[in-house]
Amino acid sequence: MRALKQRPLLVMGNWKMHGDQAKVRALLRELCAAELSPGAPEIAVLPAFVHLADAVRVLKGGPIAWGAQDICRHPDGAHTGDVSAAMLVDYNCRFVLVGHSERRRSHGEGDALVAAKFKAARRAGLQPVLCLGEDLVQREAGRASQVVTRQLEAVLASCTPRDLRPVVLAYEPIWAIGSGAAAGAEQAQEMHALLRGCIAARGLEYARDTRILYGGSVCAENAAALFEMPDVDGVLVGGASLRAQEFLAICRAAAAFQAR
């Protein structure tokens, strides 16, 4: 444990496929009205594509950034239902998730596609957030490290050194997502240190700059313990990010940690 992080904390809310216009606008307004201290972490929300325009309208000029939950690997063209990197840039998105486990599972996204999406985002000037994580069967079989290392290496192998600065990863164990039972802080730390080690093998400067978020049942009660871990550089919050006051409490826990 150490008091100071080398990297600024990042608190990100993944709104997944929740809400309608009225609910999303109310959530945005509540976030926007919050007093965020100067020591606040970097904060971002990821609404569904159809709600991005509202996010831009409400959050523009304020401290909370926004982004998307997915991206198309292709720059443009006949790709029905997809959204390109350029479209996200046009909406001033800063971040985009790639390889979220819900897409890997329900859309059959494999490592090669995730790597292509990562590069598409990076080359358009977006910050991709590469999501990695093992399921319960893999963890119980003692294969968690092997699974996340494979997921990470698949992307690293296709990247140039320029693509790697700076990288944001999100370790999201599938068994913790939506379960109400987050990984323990020490358990998260162990996996984050492993992931940082993989990046370090490509150059220490990359490892130093890489932010690794933890995701999976993060809430106001468990966030502070996660921030204490030396390799936890923020959190990717699902369910709790739909409740403005709880999300803001997580942001405040990060600010309190950074103010020490």
Could you give the string, one character per residue 36-75, with x where binding to ligand 13P holds by CB under 6 A and - elsewhere?
A: ----------------------------------------
Q: Which is nearer to ligand 13P, 83 or 207 (CB)?
A: 83
Residue tagged active-site, from 102, 172, 192, 246? 172
Q: Which is nearer to ligand 13P, 23 or 208 (CB)?
A: 23
Measure CA 230 to chain center: 18
Q: Is 178 in the site for ligand 13P (CB under 6 A)?
A: yes
Ramachandran class of 25: left when φ > 0, alpha when ψ lies in -120 to 50, beta otherwise:
alpha
Q: Which span sits near ligand 13P by CB under 6 A: 23-31, 87-95, 193-201, 232-240?
A: 232-240
Instruction: Report the candidate in 107, 192, 89, 178 with the shortest Cα–Cα distance to residue 98.
Output: 107
130 is written with which tokens? Answer: 């590469």
Instruction: Report the candidate in 11, 64, 9 with the shortest Cα–Cα distance to residue 33.
Output: 64
End-to-end CA distance of the chain: 14
Q: Is 236 in the site for ligand 13P (CB under 6 A)?
A: yes
Residue tagged active-site, from 42, 100, 102, 192? 100
Distance CA 36, CA 20 (A): 26
Q: List helix spans (H) across 124-160.
A: 136-140, 144-156
Least separation in angstroms between residue 217's CB and ligand 13P is: 4
> 51 an active-site residue?
no
Q: Which residue from 120, 177, 207, 220 is in contact with ligand 13P, where contact means CB under 6 A?
A: 177
Which residue matches tokens 């000037």?
A: 125
Q: Which residues contact ligand 13P by CB under 6 A?
A: 14, 100, 172, 177-178, 215-218, 236-240
Active site residues per annotation: 100, 172
